[in-house]
Structure 1
């Protein structure tokens, strides 16, 4: 086929917004049955074309077709911490899960059975991160009690570690008094329980402590005086405790400045199993996504991910070998009794999928694809590592995607528009995996810079902590200097620089537009505009997050909050801004988008607000994701003055001239 010469941004692309969500799922959790059903793997998937419903599925070894467990009137999603995760587990062939509408825990014996509630209703209780011990017959999980908040007798819900008897529904509290708990894990003999705890203003990647307590003979109590801290503490992060078959306790800690894997013997001796300047773990925004896995057979092998590779570590000899499989992303690692690893994998040219991985020879067997799409790879832009100098003599990192469409080229001497993407969190990370939401832009003639600004995880504790007290400064600097660097190098059009981001990335976007004069347009998806309002209105999990990112809120620090809130600086705005927001968002309330929109509109700048009914924090409905994606591109096209090839989108953009 001949190649058409056309202006950047006007290229026609087969990667439509519908294609980006159609028959597409997002994998949330992967589970194996520790008590049986060897060779079966269970997972939950977010289905965009079912209104964002979470569905549990399973596949048996040597079978082709997977089973769907979750009936249509159920949604296997927990609201603990609002972000959830750890919504289900498996025991002796039965699935136990939290249901979104009532937040009760249910037990389901088979895909054809109706789920049965095993926790009381109308208690205001939510559950996450559970597992069932064959030794005690009890479920150990996190419980978040909202009952007093609902009665307006408390400001925050109470989080505890509880034991649940699934037969009687009786619950007992095992650990309480701290603001947060995670990862309750019982030892193989059922005699000990490990868990992680932390208090405000820490987040689960800040100062946390690992505790171990002795379980009573019935398994429903911690023996008084037996609970002891074994790792972590002030300035140290610990997470993801797991017991090996011989009773050693493994965990991830950043005490060296990097998230490394440690082992604590029954005698209390601690050892860094693989000292290295690389991260084994990642930020625990949600429950139930393990970054390493222990062979349950007792071989002493541990599988872990590091630097975009999958590794096998022999705990006894400390020998570590890379398993050659050809992916760049590995998530939710689970080691089966059959010696196989089950996890989610991805790469810049392959959609995330669940696979069975032979840890001996690297052979991969596909189980479930997040998206089945036969699209020529010549439409895909392959990211390259890109780093640049930023403020305070520092360096920032990101992934650069150049325009790519096999059917088009741009006129000689022209440069592409640049979209800078600021990830959420802000303590998060943008991976170099295939995402159609990026390819949508690159295949239409945009360059994209996906920024891992200072504060992102994956680059060690020091880099992760650089954003402390600097939110709204360093993230803004890094996005702006990244765009300027590419413009100065002559890789992108300096007059067509735009930026977008969701949640905390939406805040960075708004701050870039309010405080800097680099970008010509921006899109905020459920982004923060008023830091003071965020502190006042947000949920418990993040209610003190901003203490470290900015400062503890007080009358004395209110000035800092105001100085970094874009809503107070609309007089400095001189560019176009679009807003997409869910009207049921509890994390960033919709009034923030409304306030910002009204302010920009009053300023006479091009702007649009799209409010999605029934959406929460992050869009889950396919039609809304499509509208946001098409709408953002349409908005940029109108602002930059080019005619997109797609003609189906129209938005009521205020103050648009010409």
Structure 2
């Protein structure tokens, strides 16, 4: 057995390269079932980030369905989701370039069925009785904010007239038809709420003319978030609500069967049966039959699969090797879902409910990596402000070929997730292994405001964005340094979008981190409040305060107005077509750092939006951030990468491998 080479942290040579990651990894999207055929979407960095619908037949044959250059992706709410559905062998999908809906029958070319209009579509359901689709439409044809409605459109037509079924609210999601086609359920909400703050669940009768009649709100409003309404095969409506502090499953019995209607909890527990509705089409449960629900829930950042009997309310765990499970869809005797674990890449998995045999249908990566290069995360809880506890996943450095000199402690990269109403998980992430296999420790933080820990934890960020999240990231780093696990003088932080804002706040308002990387992050809260898309245009009301009434808070918590406190190097990565966090957010900060004489780098990608999808840009970003820290801290890199232009950086003395 070869003895490990002694080399400083950060200078270890790793087989987990950026080329390997972008060439061998795809993104796996939502699953849909059509009889025995399984459909899902794949985001392919090597095809410029194109999203392709793929199907697997009952005999195991996997083929692409949508041809190039079509890109199956919706821009409703900008984040999209719910971009395709399948009904009796025909695929319906939204194309990214023109946002039109297309129909593609088996063996035929796709045909556009909506006009060339500034309309976007998502989250559709087929109304087979009336030969139409009901979906969310976002209308960008007028002045001011786009108008969101629920509409119906003819499935067999081309540029057929569309009928508005439900309107008047700012946002809609999850139109769901009852099995007999007589009722429609949907979710709606209004400014300034986000869907995890307050939503309403409505049910309406479908008239003989196909319009909605006798609509009634059956749950929600106030301090209650309802998501994922779904009808069981026997026509009972189920949904997920956080009225107990936790997103749990509920059932509604209408007034015809119970006076005034009745809402019943199915399985009250301190667990989350849903996640925030950033995108359309998310599914954490489905019906195998009227007698069996297959669901996934999360506790302490770990996902579990279970079977729930809605009559007895008995929850029976189903053992799997996975720690992250989503996108649950059932047909008789089987369930298909997205899954991943700490040591296995994400996959589309099928489970036989009779034998409990698991079958992987598609992996996000077919790479076989020696476990000697893989860091397994530890779930940690650490003290933070106000005598509270925050959470995260700690990844120690791991590379079987190297060890550090005696007494050296590793640099730590703290990762702050986006949202900020979101969460990170312990699922296998090659981008994290890229760092740990080179000698970095990584802390992926679920700061206060993250989901998966109940509404109360989620609401720690109410009015406190830029404070609670920053404190938790800083305290997590200090906790690990105090334990002697990491080098307190080499703490760095990165994050994208809202995580980029947390990163910039941590670097500006706290004296903990020595460098950082902002991926399309916010630097000026006022600019974000006045120059962003409809879905998030009032998000900051709850995170900061109403604007312009509390303009003082927006200025006070904007890193761009406090660059006098910023005294460490920062690198920025940005897409030039980002409508959520426009490039000027990064550029204002870069200019301020440049004028102050601090080391700074700015990488702008043509054609990228909010998040990078092209293989060459994903590679450039990974290598560029690592190169930046190597130059800042003066350790030698084991591999040559494309240099990033860094302004104002003195030449450091390099450690020797």
TM-score range, shorter chain: over 0.9
Alignment partner of 1:604 is 2:597: yes
2:340 paired residue number: 346
Alignment partner of 1:198 is 2:196: no
- Deviation per CA, 1:421-440, whole angstroms, max 9, x where unpaired? 00000000000011011100
Alignment partner of 1:426 is 2:420: yes
Separation (CA, whole Å) in 2 of partners of 1:304 and 1:475: 27
Secondary structure, counterpart of 1:261 in structure 2: strand
- Deviation per CA, 1:11-42, whole angstroms, max 9, x where unpaired? 00000011111132111211112xxxx21100
Alignment partner of 1:336 is 2:331: yes
1:73 paired residue number: 69
Q: Unpaired segments of 5 or more residues in structure 2?
A: 652-657
Separation (CA, whole Å) in 2 of partners of 1:592 and 1:572: 18
Q: Which moved more, 1:315-324 or 1:603-612?
A: 315-324
Separation (CA, whole Å) in 2 of partners of 1:558 and 1:280: 37
Match of 1:315 among 310, 315, 323: 310
1:116 paired residue number: 111
Match of 1:379 among 361, 373, 379: 373
- Deviation per CA, 1:555-599, whole angstroms, max 9, x where unpaired? x41111011000011111110000000000000000111110111
1:215 paired residue number: 206
2:153 paired residue number: 164
1:41 paired residue number: 38
* Residues 298, 452 of structure 2: 8 Å contact kept: no
1:103 paired residue number: 99
- Deviation per CA, 1:429-459, whole angstroms, max 9, x where unpaired? 0000110111000000000000000000000
What is the deviation of 1:8? Answer: 0.5
2:654 paired residue number: none
Separation (CA, whole Å) in 2 of partners of 1:378 and 1:276: 38
Secondary structure, counterpart of 1:638 in structure 2: helix
1:12 paired residue number: 13
- Deviation per CA, 1:480-510, whole angstroms, max 9, x where unpaired? 1111111111111011000000000000000
1:151 paired residue number: none
Paired residues in the alignment total 640
- What CA RMSD, in Å, does the superposition of the two structures yield over aligned residues? 1.0
What is the deviation of 1:362? Answer: 2.2
**What are the residue-to-residue correspondences of 1:77-92 with 2, within 5 Å?**
77-92=73-88
- Deviation per CA, 1:279-335, whole angstroms, max 9, x where unpaired? 11111110012011112x433434333431100001111121111121111110000
What is the deviation of 1:648? Answer: 2.4
TM-score, normalised on structure 2?
0.96
Separation (CA, whole Å) in 2 of partners of 1:361 and 1:479: 44
What is the deviation of 1:615? Answer: 0.3
* Residues 323, 359 of structure 1: 8 Å contact kept: no
Separation (CA, whole Å) in 2 of partners of 1:309 and 1:92: 31
Separation (CA, whole Å) in 2 of partners of 1:134 and 1:592: 47
Match of 2:470 among 476, 480, 484: 476
2:50 paired residue number: 53
**What are the residue-to-residue correspondences of 1:22-41 with 2, within 5 Å?**
22-33=23-34, 38-41=35-38
Separation (CA, whole Å) in 2 of partners of 1:507 and 1:330: 28
1:264 paired residue number: 252
Separation (CA, whole Å) in 2 of partners of 1:265 and 1:41: 32
What is the deviation of 1:136? Answer: 2.3
Separation (CA, whole Å) in 2 of partners of 1:104 and 1:532: 33
- Deviation per CA, 1:326-373, whole angstroms, max 9, x where unpaired? 111111000013x10011110000000001112233211111111110
Separation (CA, whole Å) in 1 of partners of 2:6 and 2:69: 51
Separation (CA, whole Å) in 2 of partners of 1:367 and 1:195: 32
Separation (CA, whole Å) in 2 of partners of 1:138 and 1:20: 42
Change (3 A) 1:301 1:585: closer
